[in-house]
Amino acid sequence: MAKDLDCSVADLISNSALCEKIKLEDYVTDTVGLPTLMDIKAELSKPGRDPRKQFELFSFAEGINAIGDLEVGMELPGIVTNITAFGAFVDVGIHQDGLVHISQLSDSFVKNPLDIVKVHQKVIVTVLSVDIARKRISMSMKKGDILINEAFIITFSSIFQNLSRTRYCPNTQTIIDAPHKDLRRARSCGSSLIPTTTGSATAITEIFPELKGRLNGHAVRVPLTNASLTDCVFEVEQVTTVDEVNRLLKDAADNELNGILGFEQRPLVSIDYKGDPRSSIIDALSTMVVNNTQVKIYAWYDNEWGYANRTVELVRLVGRQDME
């Protein structure tokens, strides 16, 4: 337009008389219609304003060239490369995109990742975990405290953790004393409290490899046929309080983990959680903090029903991905 009027872009922007000489019909094409051209002309008529978008410089963090350069806690600039139902993939300049899970896209609850990010958007991410062997990077876009998950979540960098599961008797426990290679599992499920092993700690470290070597646990089978209880004790690096721990857990239960994590302040017992579809329900009355840094949490769960619900959700997610 400026060329056709034999003037500069600056002159066209600052001179309304020149704008009036523009014949919009001369610029209509298959891809640019008259309404768009009218909008452009209207913007040009606003004095002192250049309607062209300012060019935004972007560069990746210096010194971050490979996955081995990443460290947990780093804040890095990145570009969104792909968006799925479960989160967004972000390139931070190492030729291996990291995943920002849907629960880490925002401090508030996110139903659809597209409500928060778009492809090619420039973002700032925090590194949550790095698995070099499997080339997996977990990131967060949250502005507040970064949450680390254990089926329920903790907000502090954990030095070590210990899990103890008080679990109702599964169908693998014998009804009456019978031969078994594990002498404790050979005993009657209805007559004793039975210490045994648990696969929870191993499963958690597969999801969060940064906890390997810092997490262990065991289980006690009890003569009941309803909900179970996880007793989680861990040492944290920063000073905290019962109120702070409960506040953060409640916030997660009300927002990004709504329907998966529960937070209960009533004095309930195991039978009250039978048939509960959530994976864990924090027993807020039992939260403890010892010597400012040792935290103890009780979390109830109906193992079979909670697991069944998560499986259904996973099947639905896979189905949506196949349709896309």
pLDDT for residue 323:
61
pLDDT for residue 145:
45
Q: What tokens does 306 get? A: 């909670």
Task: Note the pLDDT tens digit of each residue in 77-123.
Answer: 999 999 988 889 999 999 889 999 887 888 777 888 999 999 989 99
What is the b/e burial string over 127-161, where b = at least 16 CB atoms within 10 angstroms of the residue's CB? bbbbbeeeeebbbbbbeeebbbbbbbbbbbebeeb
Distance of alpha carbon 92 from alpha carbon 65, whole angstroms: 9
**CA neighbor of 89 nearest in space, from 71, 104, 75:** 104
Q: Domain boundaries in the chain? A: 9-44, 67-140, 148-312
Predicted model pTM = 0.53
pLDDT for residue 152:
34
Q: Count of CB atoms within 10 A of residue 110's CB?
A: 20
DSSP 275: T
Q: Residue 81 burial by CB count (10 A; 0-12/13-18/19+): exposed, middle or buried?
A: middle
Three-state DSSP class for residue 317: helix
What's the mean pLDDT in 15-43? 76
Q: Is 89 within 8 Å of 99 (Cβ atoms)?
A: yes
pLDDT for residue 156:
37
Distance of alpha carbon 44 from alpha carbon 63, whole angstroms: 43
DSSP string for 216-260: EEEEEEES-SS-EEEEEEEEESS---HHHHHHHHHHHHHTTTBTT
What percent of the chain has pLDDT above 70?
Answer: 83
| Average pLDDT in the chain | 80
**pLDDT band for position 162 (cuts 50, 70, 90):** low
pLDDT for residue 47:
54
Task: Note the pLDDT tens digit of each residue in 127-160.
Answer: 888 888 888 898 889 875 444 433 333 333 344 4
Distance of alpha carbon 71 from alpha carbon 63, whole angstroms: 12
For residue 282, give the H/E element and its range. strand 280-283
pLDDT for residue 158:
42
Q: What are phi and psi of 276, to 5 degrees?
A: -75, 125
CATH code that applies to domain 148-312: 3.30.360.10
- Alpha carbon dihedral 308, 309, 314, 315, in 10-degree steps, equals 70
pLDDT for residue 277:
94
Q: Is pLDDT above 50 for 125?
A: yes
The least confident of 102-111, 206-215, 287-296 is 206-215
**pLDDT band for position 71 (cuts 50, 70, 90):** confident
Three-state DSSP class for residue 85: coil
Task: Note the pLDDT tens digit of each residue in 177-196.
Answer: 888 888 888 888 788 888 88
Task: Note the pLDDT tens digit of each residue in 234-286.
Answer: 887 778 899 999 998 998 898 878 889 999 999 999 999 999 999 999 999 99
Which residues, 6 or more positions from 213, have their beta carbon under 8 angstroms from its beta carbon? Answer: none
Superfamily name with CATH number, domain 67-140: Nucleic acid-binding proteins (2.40.50.140)
∠ CA 213-215-219, nearest 5°, is: 135
